[in-house]
Chains A and B, each alone.
Chain A
Amino acid sequence: MNSFRPLPPARGGTYVRMMQPGLIPHLFRTEFRKITAVLCKVFGMEHIEVAEDLASETFLSALETWPYKGIPENPTAWLYLVAKNKAKNYYQRNQLFAEKIAAKIKTESPEATEIEINLSEENIADSQLQMLFAICHPAIPMEAQIGLALRILCGFGIEEIANAFLTSKEVINKRLFRAKEKLRTENIAIVFPGNNEIQDRLDTVLTTLYLLFNEGYYSESQDAVLREDLCLEAMRLTYLLVEYEPTNQPRVNALLSLMCFHASRFEARRNENGEIVLYQDQDESRWNEELISKGAWFLHIASQGKEMSRYHIEATIAYWNTQKTDTPEKWENILQLYNRLLRLVYSPIAALNRTYALSKVKGKAAAIAEAEKLELPGNHYYYVLLGELYSEIDNAKSLQHLQQALQLAKTETDKRTIQQKIITQRRKGT
């Protein structure tokens, strides 16, 4: 069961270095979940572990074969072929397994003598969407749903999920175990639910995709390529929802719009050393115009109708952030949007961003008064904000807050960014 992550550095290290670096991890990120979803659909949710193991073994084969025989011309097709063969072998070999699932497969295709594994683009898309809806079944608690989706549909490791939920690996393991039991006992089918049920589950599905995208976008990991894969995967799944008529709804388009606007800054977010470049320091000529127009397009579609979801609000804020010029209109709009977002759903980051927007509209003094009421001790971004607000008003206090932020920051990137701010602030004198 724990063959899920077949890439411990000690094992793969020397081999992989001879090949395109990161090729197999990349393929693992994009293909593992597709293979799992298709196999799981064929075998049924109760055999989810078999599907995961077969997908893992497929990647193990690649690790063992490619360094000696060379990378196949079409690595993805190679993986699919191996996965298919492994699934067929498993089916034929494992009598016990065959007996258990034979009945299910026969009823679905009466004349089939052997299983059909269809890894076409269309069937992968359908299987993943159906899996997404199966996971978001109301019998499963929301937190477990998101954990399962991250695990099964996105190939996250237990530790990454634990990080995303700010909890321990043990808690996540227990949660996933119980959720998988539930999928089994409730006998949840991997099919598109009926129209009403789709509407009931859509919000959970969207939350899952939103968290998945955020995990990639804001992750503390240094591995930029891997993180962008996650974002692109979330966008791809969201796009599938837009393409599927019953789920092509305003809030789905709004979420996709939000993702496009954020993704447009992938390139500009990193300098040549791979370090994070903050928004205000980004070279906007490196923003991706195509993704910005796509974002605008999906926001336009999303705005038809009366619905105003949190994704609408966040996408509109993201739209204003693509206008780099500071105008009173821009900040007034952003402030009102944050006011609205916070009324709908609170988050510390929205509270901090709102206060920053407030400083742009009403000045630093007014923003300081509100910032002091936020009560976010322990949040280093809070002290970064205070440092920013006090700059040129009370430089000594500004420095104090930045130093507090430095103490609380956890990642190297954050620490470097804050140190840079401290240096700039020192130049201003105290």
Chain B
Amino acid sequence: MDEFMLIFRHQDGNKIASPEQMQIWMKQTMDWIGGIAAQNKFISGNGLFFDDAKIVHANRMVTNGPFGEIKETIGGYIMVKGNTIEEAVEFAKGCPILQGEGNTVEVRRIAKADGIH
């Protein structure tokens, strides 16, 4: 069985929603993850803070960041087990952040110790 990372790209929820709305999203996220965990396919996961985010550039220059399209910022990730990328994609389809127009979940197979990575 392979491992996949589901990477969430979305706007900072705190900037666009009330604490009550945030709590509803949080509950939805917990139910979504709970459903994956109930299939024994959940490995781990975390949210990432938007505040204080920094970018370190090649010349060691540090800027506030991330820049770019606001909806392409990484807001969190989970790692799951799956037989195929399609199975991981099915998990991703249930992710509550996809309710937001323009938000995405990127699905990537994790490179294990295969001698190359």
Interface residues in chain A, defined as those with a beta carbon under 8 Å from any beta carbon in chain B = 335-336, 338-340, 342-343, 346, 350-351, 354-355, 358, 370, 373-375
What is the distance, in angstroms, from B103's C-beta to the closest C-beta of chain A? 22
Whether, in the assembled complex, B22 has its beta carbon less than 8 Å from a beta carbon of chain A, the answer is: no
Docked-complex contact A335 and B34, CB < 8 angstroms: yes
| Interfacial chain B residues near A335, Cβ < 8 Å | 31, 34
Whether, in the assembled complex, B84 has its beta carbon less than 8 Å from a beta carbon of chain A, the answer is: no
| Interfacial chain A residues near B38, Cβ < 8 Å | 342, 346, 350-351, 354-355, 370, 373-374
Whether, in the assembled complex, B55 has its beta carbon less than 8 Å from a beta carbon of chain A, the answer is: no
Which of A335, A339, A340 counts the most B-chain CB atoms under 10 A from its CB? A339
Instruction: Report the Cα distance A374→B38, complex, angstroms.
Output: 7
| Interfacial chain B residues near A355, Cβ < 8 Å | 38
Docked-complex contact B42 and A343, CB < 8 angstroms: yes
| Interfacial chain B residues near A354, Cβ < 8 Å | 34, 38
Classify the interface of chain B: helix, strand, loop or mixed: helix
Instruction: Report the Cα distance A226→B31, complex, angstroms.
Output: 40
Docked-complex contact A346 and B34, CB < 8 angstroms: no
Docked-complex contact B39 and A339, CB < 8 angstroms: no
| Interfacial chain B residues near A342, Cβ < 8 Å | 34, 37-38, 42
Whether, in the assembled complex, B33 has its beta carbon less than 8 Å from a beta carbon of chain A, the answer is: yes
Instruction: Report the Cα distance A358→B28, complex, angstroms.
Output: 12
Whether, in the assembled complex, B63 has its beta carbon less than 8 Å from a beta carbon of chain A, the answer is: no
Docked-complex contact A346 and B40, CB < 8 angstroms: yes
17 A-B pairs within 8 Å (CB atoms) are namely: A335-B31, A335-B34, A336-B27, A336-B30, A338-B34, A339-B30, A339-B31, A339-B34, A339-B37, A342-B42, A346-B37, A350-B38, A354-B38, A370-B35, A373-B38, A374-B38, A374-B39
Q: Which B residues, 58 to 85, have Cβ-Cβ distances below 8 Å to chain A?
A: none
Instruction: Report the Cα distance A65→B32, complex, angstroms.
Output: 64
Interface residues in chain B, defined as those with a beta carbon under 8 Å from any beta carbon in chain A = 27, 30-31, 33-35, 37-40, 42
What is the distance, in angstroms, from B30's C-beta to the closest C-beta of chain A? 5
| Interfacial chain B residues near A350, Cβ < 8 Å | 38
Task: Using A336-B27, A338-B34, A339-B34 as known contacts, say yes or no to A373 and B39 having CB atoms under 8 A apart.
Answer: yes
What is the distance, in angstroms, from B46's C-beta to the closest C-beta of chain A? 11
Chain B, residue nearest A346 (CB): B40
Chain B, residue nearest A353 (CB): B38
Docked-complex contact A343 and B37, CB < 8 angstroms: yes
What is the distance, in angstroms, from B79's C-beta to the closest C-beta of chain A? 12
Instruction: Report the Cα distance A350→B35, complex, angstroms.
Output: 11
Instruction: Report the Cα distance A374→B27, complex, angstroms.
Output: 21
Which of A355, A373, A374 counts the most B-chain CB atoms under 10 A from its CB? A373
| Interfacial chain A residues near B42, Cβ < 8 Å | 342-343, 346
Instruction: Report the Cα distance A375→B38, complex, angstroms.
Output: 10
Question: 12 more A-B contacts (CB under 8 A) besides A342-B42, A343-B37, A351-B38?
Answer: A335-B31, A339-B30, A339-B34, A339-B37, A340-B34, A343-B34, A346-B40, A351-B37, A351-B40, A354-B38, A358-B31, A373-B39
Instruction: Report the Cα distance A346→B35, complex, angstroms.
Output: 11
| Interfacial chain B residues near A336, Cβ < 8 Å | 27, 30
Docked-complex contact B30 and A351, CB < 8 angstroms: no
| Interfacial chain A residues near B27, Cβ < 8 Å | 336
Instruction: Report the Cα distance A351→B34, complex, angstroms.
Output: 9
What is the distance, in angstroms, from B9's C-beta to the closest C-beta of chain A? 22
Chain A, residue nearest B31 (CB): A339
Task: Using A351-B38, A351-B40, A373-B39 as known contacts, say yes or no to A343 and B33 having CB atoms under 8 A apart.
Answer: yes
Instruction: Report the Cα distance A350→B34, complex, angstroms.
Output: 11
Instruction: Report the Cα distance A373→B38, complex, angstroms.
Output: 9
Docked-complex contact A375 and B39, CB < 8 angstroms: yes
What is the distance, in angstroms, from A365's C-beta to the closest C-beta of chain B? 14
What is the distance, in angstroms, from A266's C-beta to the closest C-beta of chain B? 29
What is the distance, in angstroms, from B43's C-beta to the closest C-beta of chain A? 10
What is the distance, in angstroms, from A353's C-beta to the closest C-beta of chain B? 9
Docked-complex contact A340 and B30, CB < 8 angstroms: yes
Instruction: Report the Cα distance A342→B33, complex, angstroms.
Output: 9
Which of B27, B33, B37, B38 counts the most A-chain CB atoms under 10 A from its CB? B38
Chain B, residue nearest A361 (CB): B31
Chain B, residue nearest A338 (CB): B34
Picked from A339, A370, A373, A374, the residue with its CB within 8 Å of the CB of B33 is A339
| Interfacial chain A residues near B31, Cβ < 8 Å | 335, 339, 358
Docked-complex contact A351 and B39, CB < 8 angstroms: yes
The 6 closest A-B pairs by CB, nearest first: A339-B34, A342-B37, A351-B38, A346-B40, A339-B30, A343-B37
